[in-house]
Amino acid sequence: MSALGDGMHALVRRLYPLCRSITGNGVRDTLRIIGEHLDLHVHEVPTGAQVLDWTVPQEWNIRDAYIARDGERVVDFQRLNLHVVGYSVPVERTMPLEELRGHLHTLPDQPDLVPYRTSYYAPTWGFCLAQSTLDEMPEGDYEVRIDATLANGSLTYAEHVVRGQVDDEVIVSCHVCHPSLANDNMAGVAVAVELAKSLVNPYYTYRFIFAPGTIGAITWLARNRDRVDRVKHGIVLACAGDRGSLTYKQSRRGDADIDRVMAHVLRDRPHEIREFSPYGYDERQYCSPGFNLGVGSLTRTPYAGYPEYHTSGDNPDFVTPESLVDTLAVCREAVEVLDRNRTYVNLSPYGEPQLGKRGLYESLGGRSDAKDAQLAMLWVLNLSDGTNDLLTIADRARLPFAAVAAAADALHAAGLLKD
């Protein structure tokens, strides 16, 4: 597990420096690196394409940017890409600090951190810097340059599909539009990559979506509108590597299977479960009323819930291998519950069937969890009336889902249950 955590953390570190936005080469470079780990199907959707109520914007790419005085760079995009407001239009001017201030963004309450700012749909330009840097800038003229382009191009997103025994799907969605922000959301990407690699012959088909936030999810929904009914469960992964405990945000439905699964998986861990709100990550797109998919959101410290959020403090040192492994473990357990959950009918419902003559008691001999296994058999037999699935039984019995599923497998093999 230590090696697994180190591997995910190494991927976060590698992806961190890339200048991503909702379009452009930073997204492509990110997907190219993810593609070294997973087989990706990359989609390019042209500028101007109508996607639901939105239009794919022009593509933004940036090569360099700085604020300089007397030939010395005071603010340098090459040192930190957060220094430029995302989607800034090109500019090359000399101006006094008094005029420049209107284009500068700082965090006075966090004077040593650089904020993350964007302006996707309102043409403008700007720089982000530490308040402590601004405080040291003397009055006078500054050379300002943003070497960027806004031109017709495309929006890029990618999918990785693990085919299952059925065509019904579970989607795992991550946004890939943030520049140098390690927890939000390269940590979620790293966990999703490792989760995808771990799936072997699953029951459901698992579709991993790596797309820019908001416009990317909307584009995916628009292009998959005729088959979105295949999506039975889903999770949005973000903020997956900080030291906080886990937080699950329910789907819009509140009682979707994924909501029940995550509540069960998190039951014995420090965690928080929050009700749905139309604010946050792309769960709000998948849960928009026209689609109303059973998609929740899994984070550690949630959206905007930590001081380093959307600042230069969200760097690779803020993410820990241990937290990445813990988030991955919860995702894997959730997948196991989703894939193994069934509803059974007891074929010998009149009185308790004799388990000994079927060799079921003997099969428990020597097991360290023999008591739980025996209880699980009794609970499964009693509640398998065609209305309770295994997850309901596990919750009511306060037993691990794995124990209940194993009991059901044994009882089914003995001819006592019908799927």
- The verdict on whether residue 83 carries a ligand-binding annotation is no
Cα 306 to its chain centre, rounded Å, is 17
* Closest C-alpha to 324, from 3, 9, 10, 17: 9
Can you tell me the distance from the alpha carbon of 61 to that of 374, in angstroms, rounded to the nearest whole number? 62
Measuring CA to CA, how many Å separate 360 from each of 217, 365, 378, 390?
Answer: 49, 9, 11, 19
* Residues 167, 172, 178: CA angle, nearest 5 degrees: 145
Task: Decide: 57 and 112 in contact? Cβ < 8 Å.
Answer: no
Task: Residue 112: count other Cβ atoms within 10 Å of its Cβ.
Answer: 12
Measuring CA to CA, how many Å separate 121 from each of 56, 106, 128, 289, 347?
Answer: 11, 21, 18, 24, 61
- The verdict on whether residue 178 carries a ligand-binding annotation is yes
- The verdict on whether residue 271 carries a ligand-binding annotation is no
Q: What is the DSSP string of 77-141?
A: TTT-GGGB-BTPPPEEEEEEHHHHGGGEE--TTSTT--B--B-SSS----EE--HHHHHTPPSSE
Token digits of residue 172: 């795992």
Can you tell me the distance from the alpha carbon of 417 to that of 410, in angstroms, rounded to the nearest whole number? 9
Q: Is 30 exposed, middle or buried (0-12, 13-18, 19+ CB in 10 A)?
A: buried
246-249 vs 271-274, strand pairing mode: parallel
59 CB-near residues (< 8 Å, 6+ apart): 23, 24, 47, 150, 151, 152, 153, 154, 155
For the packed helices 321-340 and 2-15, what is the interaxial angle rounded to 10 degrees?
Answer: 110
Can you tell me the distance from the alpha carbon of 34 to that of 158, in angstroms, rounded to the nearest whole number? 10
Residue ranges of E strands in 301-348: 343-346
Token digits of residue 161: 């599909």
* Closest C-alpha to 72, from 147, 137, 130, 139: 137
Measuring CA to CA, how many Å separate 282 from each of 29, 172, 188, 212, 328?
Answer: 22, 11, 13, 9, 19
* Residue list, annotated binding site for Zn(2+): 178, 184, 310
Q: Binding site: residue ranges?
A: 178, 184, 310
